[in-house]
Amino acid sequence: MPDDIGNELPHALNVLWGRAKPKGRGRTPALSLERIVTAAIALADEEGLAALSMARLAERLGCAPMSLYRHVTGKDDLQLFMLAAAPGPPPEFGTAPADWRGSLTRWAVELFDVYLRHPWIAQLANSPPMDPGQLAWLDAALRSLGGTPLDPRARFSVVMLVLHYVRGAAQLLTSMTAEPEDRADGAYAALLTELADPGRFPALARAVEAGVFAPHAGAAPDDDFRAGLDHLLDGVGVAIERAARA
Q: Residue 26: what pLDDT?
A: 47
The span from the first CA to the last CA of the chain, in angstroms, equals: 37
What CATH architecture applies to the domain 3-85?
Orthogonal Bundle (1.10)
CA 69 to CA 25: how far, in whole Å? 10
Lowest mean pLDDT among 2-11, 18-27, 196-205: 2-11
pLDDT for the residue numbered 178: 66
Residue 26, SS3? Answer: coil
Specify the amino acid at residue 173.
L
Rounded to 10°, the helix 152-177/100-117 angle is 40
Interatomic CA distance for residues 215 and 228, integer angstroms: 17
Helix (H) or strand (E) holding 143: helix 132-144
pLDDT at 185: 56
- pLDDT above 70 covers what percent of the chain? 91
According to DSSP, residue 49 is labeled G
- d(CA 185, CA 189) in angstroms, rounded, equals 9
pLDDT at 223 over 80: yes
Burial-class residue 55 by CB neighbours within 10 Å (0-12, 13-18, 19+): exposed
CA 236 to each of CA 45, 87, 92, 230, 241: distance values in angstroms, whole numbers, following the listed order = 33, 25, 21, 10, 9
Min mean pLDDT across 4-8, 109-113, 159-163, 212-216 is at 4-8
Average pLDDT, the chain: 90
Question: Residue 214: pLDDT band by 50, 70, 90 thresholds?
Answer: confident
What separation in angstroms does the CA of 10 have from each of 54, 86, 166, 185, 210? 18, 19, 28, 45, 53
Domain 100-178+216-245 class, CATH top level? mainly alpha
Under 8 Å CB-to-CB from 171, ≥6 apart: which residues? 115, 119, 122
The three-class DSSP label of residue 90 is coil
Identify the pLDDT of residue 29: 63
Distances (CA, A) of 63 to 32, 57, 76, 187: 12, 9, 20, 46
Domain with CATH 1.10.357.10 in the chain: 100-178+216-245
User: Which residues make Cβ contacts (< 8 Å) with residue 61, sequence separation at least 6?
Assistant: 31, 35, 36, 39, 68
DSSP, collapsed to helix, strand or coil, labels residue 179 as coil
Residue in 117, 162, 119, 122 with CA at minimum distance from that of residue 138: 162
Provide CATH 1.10.10.60 ranges for the chain.
3-85
Q: Mean per-residue pLDDT for 29-57?
A: 94
The pLDDT, as a whole number, for residue 103 is 97
Residues 52 and 195: their CA atoms lie apart, in Å, by 40
